[in-house]
Chain A
């Protein structure tokens, strides 16, 4: 066995020598510009002090406490120092920071970030990993969630999904941990030591996944982008335990079975460009990922008709991309205690700047303009316009009732108009121009504070656009 190996390596050496000789013998060498810059292959992050070029960047903008961090020379796993975070109690901020280098590192020869950690009480760290790099949009971020830490020093391993991608990195270590509610852990101390990238050689059985491993079939629309979620890498550690990390899209290679229908870029963003069906799959370091997205593109996305130009004095817009909109409190009040089931509208969908409200599980939902904004004075207006598309089959008894409330909770009056099943179309936009005089019982309309859509669950999934009063 060994003899064979030695023989092979001798042959390889000989072969390389011949190749090298041939290259040296050539008239022309590689030109200078094909020599790639290479960065230090230094895997150290914090051993007993900050490694070369490393700096501490607390997530101050996110509310992290910059003072929670220190170097501790009394408590350490090895050497003479560790890094220490004092996790504050609930309501006093959190621990959140990234450790980045000023000089880029080549991490491609390593397979994991490893460290020793302990806590003053059993804890789990909300998020910890590496690859926070503002300059690349965290292109190769890796996150482990809910990492359990015990009260004695133990070694932890966070695998690199594909080391070959990491040849010019600055984001070496990051974490975010805090009390998420008053019953959550807080007011304790975390220590880390011997933080470094290393080649363990003991990681195996990689199982990448997209969409958390599910095979999903959903409709797509031409020119409406989507993005892939649930991107993970699961690896078996030396201990036999599996660890799953959230891996940034750029670790994956995506493919679309029909590039005429959709393509996926390195950020996991899907561009839909044609009609038909396509299945989007992925691989990570040549391992096929579990999960797929089958897009059935039957049509271009249908937007509501664009409203006509109007003088600003002739229109008060609640929700449209055609006119300036008044401020609203919300597009969904979530009156859950009153039995509301309706989801959506918070926020509206945004199709490349064209916003649409999608209400699902509709029974009733209100758009509020009475809490923190001025009520709408529609006294001078004559008509309410709204575009509605019903995204499901319509049965004869189905309806959508539009109700207006004036002076909410203070001498309140209201009136409503019902759109019958015969007025609505499945999968088609229908424009309604409803005289305000038809809202019998409303009377005064100088302080309109709520606009309700009510279906009593007869219709559950609708698109709504271009809600405005005009004259």
Chain B
């Protein structure tokens, strides 16, 4: 979610891994044997069942257009607020809504939530159940940054993008890691294409299971990537606490600007965020 242009896909291990899976599928039900996740001890469970603002003990907000006023380093077009029209809990969902409106010099408003200084953890299983927004120029994300980012600036602090998505590609999910020597255009990244379904018409689970030597990326019941220290083209920085972020950006380098067919408002519906270890 910081500066970027993509992408290097390093997936030899993944192919081996999937090969092992496929071998083990033969002769039995796929769903019963695929080990997507192993951790089940819940340490954070944000279910968004109480209407109103999100729990301030867990969630803070980034406000504005970024510390340099440049759209968070990506030429994003929105101004982030914590107003209920941009972020609110209703009907069992956290709703992050991108709107087309003039606000503080920006043409759009939206929200970015983060657990920095509130919930930070190294390793574990991090997942959210989300129905994504849609349309050209809409850029939602569920992601993580190294908790030492204030002392150890990006990309040194590390970034794990559990879910990124372009509103103009409603069936394609992108999962990535960024670190020193493999950030922005050189991030380690993989796309997952949903077959016979879309991310904007129903809820899907986006998660990672992160252990000292691997980060497994999954969507619903499909493990689609594993990134290990051997895969990254620099120092492995995923050995310290990270915090979570969720946002809906509008425009920016990753997606390009909205066009005349983009419908506003666009809302990301988050059913829950859960962390296990």
Q: Which residues of A contact B (CB under 8 A)?
A: 1-2, 6, 199-205, 207, 236, 238, 240, 242
Is B167 a contact partner of A202 (Cβ separation < 8 A)?
A: no
Known contacts A1-B205, A202-B196, A205-B200; decide if A238 and B220 are in contact (CB<8 Å): no
Known contacts A1-B205, A238-B198; decide if A202 and B134 are in contact (CB<8 Å): no
With beta carbons under 8 angstroms apart, the residue of B31, B197, B220, B221 that contacts A202 is B197
Query: In the bound complex, what is the Cα–Cα distance between A6 and B30 (angstroms)?
Result: 13
Instruction: Show 20 A/B contacts (Cβ-Cβ < 8 Å), sorted by A.
Output: A1-B36, A1-B221, A2-B31, A2-B36, A199-B196, A200-B196, A201-B196, A202-B170, A202-B171, A202-B197, A203-B198, A204-B134, A204-B170, A204-B200, A205-B134, A205-B201, A238-B171, A238-B198, A240-B136, A240-B170
B93 to chain A, nearest CB (A): 18
Beyond the given A1-B205, A203-B198, A205-B135, could you list 5 further A-B residue pairs with CB under 8 A, ordered by the A residue number? Answer: A202-B198, A204-B134, A204-B201, A236-B170, A242-B261
Residues on A with beta carbons closer than 8 Å to the beta carbon of B135: 205
Query: In the bound complex, what is the Cα–Cα distance between A200 and B197 (angstroms)?
Result: 8
Is A201 a contact partner of B197 (Cβ separation < 8 A)?
A: yes
Query: In the bound complex, what is the Cα–Cα distance between A199 and B195 (angstroms)?
Result: 11
Chain B, 131-187, CB within 8 A of any chain A CB: 134-136, 166-171
Query: In the bound complex, what is the Cα–Cα distance between A6 and B34 (angstroms)?
Result: 14
Residues on A with beta carbons closer than 8 Å to the beta carbon of B197: 201-202
Q: Which residues of B contact A (CB under 8 A)?
A: 31, 36, 134-136, 166-171, 194-198, 200-201, 205, 220-221, 261, 263
Residues on B with beta carbons closer than 8 Å to the beta carbon of A202: 170-171, 194, 196-198
Is A236 a contact partner of B134 (Cβ separation < 8 A)?
A: yes
Query: In the bound complex, what is the Cα–Cα distance between A207 and B135 (angstroms)?
Result: 13
A242 to chain B, nearest CB (A): 5
The chain A residue sitting closest to B221, CB to CB, is: A2
Known contacts A1-B220, A205-B134; decide if A240 and B198 are in contact (CB<8 Å): no
A264 to chain B, nearest CB (A): 27
The chain B residue sitting closest to A2, CB to CB, is: B221
The chain A residue sitting closest to B200, CB to CB, is: A204
Query: In the bound complex, what is the Cα–Cα distance between A204 and B168 (angstroms)?
Result: 12
B158 to chain A, nearest CB (A): 27
Known contacts A201-B197, A202-B196, A204-B134; decide if A240 and B220 are in contact (CB<8 Å): no
A163 to chain B, nearest CB (A): 15
Chain B contact residues, majority secondary structure? loop
The chain A residue sitting closest to B261, CB to CB, is: A242
Residues on A with beta carbons closer than 8 Å to the beta carbon of B200: 204-205, 236
B209 to chain A, nearest CB (A): 13
Is B221 a contact partner of A238 (Cβ separation < 8 A)?
A: no
B220 to chain A, nearest CB (A): 7
B250 to chain A, nearest CB (A): 16
B196 to chain A, nearest CB (A): 3
The chain A residue sitting closest to B29, CB to CB, is: A6
A90 to chain B, nearest CB (A): 34
Residues on A with beta carbons closer than 8 Å to the beta carbon of B198: 201-204, 238
In this complex, which of B170, B197, B221 has the most chain A Cβ atoms within 10 angstroms of its Cβ?
B170
Known contacts A200-B196, A204-B201, A205-B134; decide if A238 and B31 are in contact (CB<8 Å): no
Query: In the bound complex, what is the Cα–Cα distance between A167 and B135 (angstroms)?
Result: 32
Residues on A with beta carbons closer than 8 Å to the beta carbon of B220: 1
Query: In the bound complex, what is the Cα–Cα distance between A238 and B205 (angstroms)?
Result: 20
Residues on B with beta carbons closer than 8 Å to the beta carbon of A201: 195-198
Query: In the bound complex, what is the Cα–Cα distance between A278 and B195 (angstroms)?
Result: 45
The chain A residue sitting closest to B198, CB to CB, is: A204
Is B261 a contact partner of A238 (Cβ separation < 8 A)?
A: no
With beta carbons under 8 angstroms apart, the residue of A199, A238, A240 that contacts B167 is A240
With beta carbons under 8 angstroms apart, the residue of B169, B221, B263 that contacts A240 is B169
Is B196 a contact partner of A240 (Cβ separation < 8 A)?
A: no
Residues on B with beta carbons closer than 8 Å to the beta carbon of A240: 136, 166-170
Residues on B with beta carbons closer than 8 Å to the beta carbon of A6: 31
B65 to chain A, nearest CB (A): 26
The chain B residue sitting closest to A237, CB to CB, is: B170
The chain A residue sitting closest to B202, CB to CB, is: A204
The chain B residue sitting closest to A199, CB to CB, is: B196
B28 to chain A, nearest CB (A): 14
Query: In the bound complex, what is the Cα–Cα distance between A201 and B196 (angstroms)?
Result: 4
Residues on A with beta carbons closer than 8 Å to the beta carbon of B194: 202
Residues on B with beta carbons closer than 8 Å to the beta carbon of A2: 31, 36, 221
Query: In the bound complex, what is the Cα–Cα distance between A244 and B175 (angstroms)?
Result: 32
Query: In the bound complex, what is the Cα–Cα distance between A132 and B32 (angstroms)?
Result: 47
The chain A residue sitting closest to B37, CB to CB, is: A1
Query: In the bound complex, what is the Cα–Cα distance between A363 and B261 (angstroms)?
Result: 42
Residues on A with beta carbons closer than 8 Å to the beta carbon of B195: 201
Query: In the bound complex, what is the Cα–Cα distance between A242 and B134 (angstroms)?
Result: 12
B193 to chain A, nearest CB (A): 9
Query: In the bound complex, what is the Cα–Cα distance between A201 and B200 (angstroms)?
Result: 12
Residues on A with beta carbons closer than 8 Å to the beta carbon of B134: 204-205, 236
B206 to chain A, nearest CB (A): 12
Query: In the bound complex, what is the Cα–Cα distance between A2 and B34 (angstroms)?
Result: 10
Residues on B with beta carbons closer than 8 Å to the beta carbon of A204: 134, 170, 198, 200-201
A43 to chain B, nearest CB (A): 14
The chain A residue sitting closest to B127, CB to CB, is: A1
The 6 closest A-B CB pairs, nearest first, are: A201-B196, A240-B168, A204-B201, A204-B198, A201-B197, A2-B221
B126 to chain A, nearest CB (A): 14
Query: In the bound complex, what is the Cα–Cα distance between A392 and B183 (angstroms)?
Result: 70
A106 to chain B, nearest CB (A): 20
Residues on A with beta carbons closer than 8 Å to the beta carbon of B201: 204-205
Query: In the bound complex, what is the Cα–Cα distance between A199 and B197 (angstroms)?
Result: 10
Query: In the bound complex, what is the Cα–Cα distance between A236 and B263 (angstroms)?
Result: 12
The chain A residue sitting closest to B201, CB to CB, is: A204
Query: In the bound complex, what is the Cα–Cα distance between A200 and B201 (angstroms)?
Result: 13
